[in-house]
Structure 1
Amino acid sequence: MNGGDAAGRLVRPFTLTGGRTRPSRADFTLITMVTAVDPPPDRAARPQPEHTRILRLCAQPVVVAELAAKLDLSVSVVCIMLCDLLEEGRITAHAPRQISRTLDMDLLQKVRDGLGRL
């Protein structure tokens, strides 16, 4: 985990989160889809540089795990920063869709048969 900026300076994760170690909300999992709000709300304060990087990466929908990888930060640090942006109304977060819990035995049989033919 590097957390470095464009000039190569090291930024400690606790400075990015204001010393917080836990997100203020439980909205984010590894596969939560995050998208920047466009245009940003009028009442929002100017974002910090790290938040600006996140917003730039979230111009198109992206999942939390991919965002953390692109930022080279831990998921927990990214989730804390995402909570800040969500509370400011700068991003939207969409939980993954629930997959049906019922088993489709016909589909499973077709998959098994297909694998058997390989």
Structure 2
Amino acid sequence: MSNVPAELKYTKEHEWVGQLTADGTVRIGVTDHAQGELGDVVYVDLPEVGDTLEAEATFGEIESTKSVSDLFVPLSGQVVVVNDALESSPEIVNSDPYGEGWLIELRPANKADIDSLLSAEGYLAEIEAQ
């Protein structure tokens, strides 16, 4: 069974969204389930700081020893931070997907959109249905 922290929100495409911070940003990453399915992550291609993204659009790629998969942004907004540590150590996504393996920080265009994402229970049901 995958690790699915209750305090996060999720997408059907296996991304997670952290809680809104005091400065109005959220961290986004891939779920433990996703990193397990991918296998050993060897490369992550992420957007640039300042890029404006539309919800559900591709915002990068994650490459593993098994495949290359698109990353889909859960919310519309502007990229404010990119996890540069993944450039030299992409395997952090495997070892700590909800911690140091985060991908980007985004300033959501509409904070209320976070509520439309899946809860931990909803995401678990989605995994089980696959």
Q: Shorter-chain TM-score category?
A: under 0.3
| Structure with max Cα Rg | 1
Greater strand share, structure number: 2
Greater helix share, structure number: 1
Structure 1 length as normaliser, TM-score? Answer: 0.28
**Higher RCO, 1 or 2 (CA under 8 Å, sep at least 6)?**
1
